[in-house]
Amino acid sequence: MKIATGHIIHESNTFAPGTTPLGAFVIRRGDEIVREHTGAHTEVTGFLEGAVTHVFELAPMFSATATPSAIVTAGAFDWLADELVSALRAAGKIDGILLALHGAFVSENHPNADAEFARRVREAFGPDMPIVLTHDPHSSIGEDVVRQVNALVIYKTNPHLDQRQIGLQAAGIIAGMVRGAVKPVMAYRSLPMMINIVHQHTSAPPLRDLWRALQVYEQQAGVLAASMSLCYQYSDVPAMGNAVVVVTDNNQAQADAIADELAAKLWALREELAVHIPTVHDAVAQAMDAAQQKQTPQVIVDIGDNVGGGSAADGTFILTELLAQRADGWVVTLADPKAVQACTMAGIGATLSLDVGGATDEMHGAPVRVTGRVKCLHDGRYEERAARHGGVRWGNQGLCALLELAAPAPGGEASYILLTTARAAPMSLHQLQSVGIEPGYMKILTVKAAIAWKAAYEPIMAGFVVADTPGATQVNPKRWHYRNVRKNLFGLEGWP
Ligand SMILES: [Zn+2]
């Protein structure tokens, strides 16, 4: 038995200015895919391990991944779609296809590009080819994608820690199909609601119990997968919202009944999903108060500049407030290639004044003038072996510089601005440890994220506060301007 894989991952923020070109994608084929995912915790790691467990030959044909960002150009989409199909064809005679797509890929020519990738693969290989698809729960799932594949399985955790298991599950389903042991059928339900990302933590209330119930459903005889999307709220597309997908072994009535139950339970949660978070000023004051009482480190979440949600990564609202309130012992990370260059030219140990951040667009605050000493220069590569959000093993934030700022008052501690060349989401403490910062020693850490950061930071933090920062990933419905989503979507409307 030979199974080919295709892997295309992009989460497209339709509110981020500009477009994402093909050059933003890292393309891998064959052994490069095996090397990247061996020892990691991704769905492709699960496919690789599933091939051993379920005894089939896996042909890893094509992988294209990019950091979340603005919508993808039509040219890049067309190239990726053509390459995906021709790479899968190049695998020769195959018995099935494992596809790993994000579910929130938006291109200039396709509002639900992942459905179009799946449609083209189906068209190329015909109605009898077994195709099992995996998705990130930050997805906009329409009926169009469900029609193209035999089974869809979605990660059940956020932070995403079960991607490897989902890959294994998908591998088990396709092996069962090819051997004639199972015949997947699916039930799909779309809900007229969206869970604000503030609440999308699957191991905390209000979502915890319902998301845990998915595993209980999967223990029922005949259930191959029970999944729900959390929704990807930064996608202004018609399919945006929550969805339920249940896969059973040739029992449509069972799939329908479970899908209806899950949809009803999710709908019943909606009143618990209102958003109340403090202003940036209050969030910084709250973190400083807690730090004063020796409850450290405190984490301030810059949710409007959530890099993993496609924002600029150079937002300065929290930096500005930390400086205004004369906080000490903090770390802020900013993607700012020009500032990295300036620090590199100055050299380690040099003191310089420069503008940092706020350079990408008009959404994430103004550049901030700071004076600091270049403490460290680093190539930006680090390794994470633990299962952290996304399951990636190799991190790369590009050439980076650590700028040390003197304490604002005698007796205070130094603060740090980590300037990076690439936009890198805070999924691993090694992002800071690689440049010599011990996160546990700091008073205040800041993360440009929503929920994903918790897998890495929860073990060491004393507390956290989410700040209502503006930006491409802002969560305050009062600031949103949607045009293409369905009418009366609960979560966009319905809360004060
Ligand atoms: Zn996600």
The CATH number covering residue 87 comes to 3.40.50.2300
Average pLDDT over the chain reads 96
Give residue 218's domain range: 2-273
Give the Å distance between the CA of 132 and the centre of ligand 1.
19
Out of 252, 273, 294, pick the residue that ends a domain.
273
Whether 201 and 246 share a structural domain: yes
In whole angstroms, give the CA distance from residue 26 to residue 10: 11
User: Which of 211, 73, 220 minimizes the C-alpha distance to 137?
Assistant: 211
Give the Å distance between the CA of 231 and the centre of ligand 1.
9
Q: What is the pLDDT of residue 496?
A: 43
Q: Say if residue 29 is exposed, middle or buried (CB neighbours under 10 Å; 0-12, 13-18, 19+).
A: middle
Note whether 374 and 401 are within 8 A (CB): yes
Give the Å distance between the CA of 463 and the centre of ligand 1.
23
Whether 328 and 261 share a structural domain: no
CA max distance for the chain = 73
Rounded to 5 degrees, what angle do the CA atoms 250, 254, 260 make? 135
What is the arithmetic mean of pLDDT over 140-153? 97
339-348 pLDDT tens trace: 999 999 999 9
Local structure of residue 307 (DSSP, 8 states): G
What ranges make up the beta strands (E) of 10-74? 12-13, 26-28, 57-65, 69-70
**DSSP notation for 388-431:** -TT--SEEE--SEEEEEE--SSTT---EEEEEESS---S--THH
Neighbours of ion ligand 1 (CB under 5 A): 136, 138
Structural domain contains residue 486: no
Note whether 328 and 409 are within 8 A (CB): yes
CB atoms within 10 A of CB 222: 12
Structural domain contains residue 268: yes
Give the Å distance between the CA of 32 and the centre of ligand 1.
23
User: Which of 86, 6, 56 minimizes the C-alpha distance to 178?
Assistant: 56
pLDDT confidence band for 391 (50 / 70 / 90): confident
154-171 pLDDT tens trace: 999 999 999 999 999 999
Give the Å distance between the CA of 390 and the centre of ligand 1.
8
Whether 359 and 454 share a structural domain: yes
Structural domain contains residue 482: no
Type of residue found at 391: G
Whether 240 and 300 share a structural domain: no
CB atoms within 10 A of CB 469: 29
Whether 193 and 61 share a structural domain: yes
Whether 266 and 288 share a structural domain: no
In whole angstroms, give the CA distance from residue 401 to residue 347: 10
Terminus-to-terminus CA distance in the chain, angstroms? 56
In whole angstroms, give the CA distance from residue 197 to residue 244: 17
What ranges make up the beta strands (E) of 102-232? 131-135, 151-154, 184-190, 223-228
Out of 228, 252, 273, pick the residue that ends a domain.
273
300-353 pLDDT tens trace: 999 999 999 999 999 999 999 999 999 999 999 999 999 999 999 999 999 999
Local structure of residue 471 (DSSP, 8 states): S
User: Which of 443, 435, 371 minimizes the C-alpha distance to 402?
Assistant: 435
Distance of CA 346 to the CA centre of its chain: 35
Give the Å distance between the CA of 386 and the centre of ligand 1.
18
Q: What is the pLDDT of residue 493?
A: 72
395-442 pLDDT tens trace: 999 999 999 999 999 999 999 999 999 999 999 999 999 999 999 999
Whether 253 and 301 share a structural domain: no
Note whether 166 and 48 are within 8 A (CB): no
Structural domain contains residue 496: no
Give the Å distance between the CA of 350 and the centre of ligand 1.
40
In whole angstroms, give the CA distance from residue 406 to residue 414: 5
Give the Å distance between the CA of 42 and the centre of ligand 1.
12
Q: What is the pLDDT of residue 494?
A: 56
3-state secondary structure of 311: coil
Give the Å distance between the CA of 141 and the centre of ligand 1.
13
Give the Å distance between the CA of 138 and the centre of ligand 1.
4
Whether 73 and 9 share a structural domain: yes
Type of residue found at 10: H
pLDDT for 495 beyond 90: no
Supply 432's token pair: 């800071």
Share of the chain above pLDDT 70, in %: 99
- Main-chain phi, psi angles of 390, to 5 degrees: 95, -25
- Orientation angle between helical segments 113-125 and 74-89, nearest 10 degrees: 30
Structural domain contains residue 480: no
Type of residue found at 68: P
Give the Å distance between the CA of 230 and the centre of ligand 1.
9
Q: What is the pLDDT of residue 488?
A: 87
Give the Å distance between the CA of 274 and the centre of ligand 1.
21
Give the Å distance between the CA of 289 and the centre of ligand 1.
32
Whether 269 and 293 share a structural domain: no
The answer, as to whether pTM is greater than 0.75, is yes
Q: Say if residue 271 is exposed, middle or buried (CB neighbours under 10 Å; 0-12, 13-18, 19+).
A: exposed
Structural domain contains residue 493: no
Task: Please count the structural domains in the chain.
Answer: 2
CB hemisphere CA count around 68 (13 angstroms)? 30
Whether 253 and 145 share a structural domain: yes
Cis peptide before 159 (omega within 30 of 0): yes
In whole angstroms, give the CA distance from residue 96 to residue 106: 26
3-state secondary structure of 63: strand
Give the Å distance between the CA of 159 and the centre of ligand 1.
8
What ranges make up the beta strands (E) of 398-468? 400-405, 415-420, 444-447, 463-467
Whether 36 and 166 share a structural domain: yes
Give the Å distance between the CA of 228 and the centre of ligand 1.
12
pLDDT for 56 beyond 90: yes
Whether 416 and 442 share a structural domain: yes
Structural domain contains residue 381: yes
Out of 273, 299, 321, pick the residue that ends a domain.
273
Q: Say if residue 18 is exposed, middle or buried (CB neighbours under 10 Å; 0-12, 13-18, 19+).
A: exposed
Structural domain contains residue 495: no
pLDDT confidence band for 66 (50 / 70 / 90): very high
pLDDT confidence band for 480 (50 / 70 / 90): confident
- Main-chain phi, psi angles of 256, to 5 degrees: -65, -45
Q: What is the pLDDT of residue 302?
A: 98
In whole angstroms, give the CA distance from residue 6 to residue 83: 10
Give the Å distance between the CA of 68 and the centre of ligand 1.
10
For residues 194-215, one letter each, b for 16 or more C-beta atoms within 10 angstroms of the residue's C-beta and e for the rest, the string is bbbbbbbbbbeeebeebbeebe
Give the Å distance between the CA of 136 and the centre of ligand 1.
5
